[in-house]
Amino acid sequence: MTSIKKARYAALSLILILSASVLSGCSSPSKMESISMTGLYFDTVVQIEVWGANRAVLEECENICERYEQLLSPSIATSEVSLINRAQGAPVTVSEETAELIRLGIEYGELSDGKFDITVASATDLWNFRDNEEKELPDSDRLAEAVSHIDYRSVQIDGETVTLADPKAKIDLGGIAKGYIADKLKEYLQNQGVEHALINLGGNMLALGGRPDGSDFKIGIQEPFAADGTVLTSLSVSDQSVVSSGNYERYFEKDGVIFHHILDPDTGYPIQNDLYQVTVISDSSVQGDALSTTCYALGLEEGMELIKHMDGVEAVFVTSTLEIHKTF
């Protein structure tokens, strides 16, 4: 190759490199611009908004949601939770994720002295809080029988093999699954270099960082039973989880009594106390998920006492008179 050709070749190569750099810069998403997705998973609406990421990142978030739904949903016959529940006490080998979540469920059962129990499904199955048909209370004898099979200690786990010591026991991970999945989505986004995101799994909110302008995310706490979604109070959070549990989420009213989906593992009936709602602010969404249910079950005084003894966790309690009690 002549010196002239070499010079032209070098110049052309430099132009191509510079052009590629310019095009690459143009296609890189701005850290101040967001994209979002909305999907239906786990019988709830999932919304994820990310800043400074491309569409492929959100598509993988959808894949993650789909994967966990297929693993954990008790309403999907082929899910690992369903396989455990149908095994009648035979050992079932599950994925690492399902085993991890079941272990967490057992830990929170111990922490709450059984107020949070992942084997409450035998009683939950007898209640109908979802469709619009006229609601009836479960037969008391059937409910008492179901309650006799509620005991998180019957769940035995060895590595990734799960065995129910009581063949009639049933697992339902709904009390912690959304929080666990939110944490996994945040972990994935962090690994992709995302610095700002807001994950909403049916009201379970998890912030990755704050807003790109340096401000916190504002998370509204809904006024219980308000038909128009009125915000009772709001929280400013950055890189934290906000999870609420309450009697207004799934319920029906009969003879002046509210029957809701948070069941007492000792009776199989909805917990009756002076609380409408508990919101937990924590670094871990799975922790907030479990603690919001636990604190609701414990009631105002015991619930606040539990939170005060936990590092890095705060809570907001709303009573039936809409009084707000905070641990901070």
The verdict on pTM exceeding 0.75 is yes
pLDDT at site 27 = 53
Dump strand ranges (E) for the chain.
34-41, 44-51, 92-93, 155-158, 161-164, 196-201, 204-208, 217-222, 231-237, 241-246, 251-254, 257-260, 275-282, 314-319, 324-326
Give whole-number Cα distances, 65 to 167, 181, 184, in Å.
30, 7, 10
Decide if 148 contacts 140 (C-beta within 8 A).
no
- pLDDT (tens digit per residue) in 4-30: 434 443 443 433 333 333 333 445 677
pLDDT in single tens digits along all 328 residues of the chain: 544 434 443 443 433 333 333 333 445 677 789 999 999 999 899 999 999 999 999 999 999 999 999 999 999 999 999 999 999 999 999 999 999 999 999 999 999 999 999 999 999 999 998 776 778 899 999 999 999 999 999 999 999 999 999 999 999 999 999 999 999 999 999 999 999 999 999 989 999 999 999 999 999 999 999 987 899 999 999 999 999 999 998 999 988 899 999 999 999 999 999 999 999 999 999 999 999 999 999 999 999 999 999 999 999 999 999 999 999 9
Give whole-number Cα distances, 47 to 12, 51, 80, 174, in Å.
46, 14, 25, 18
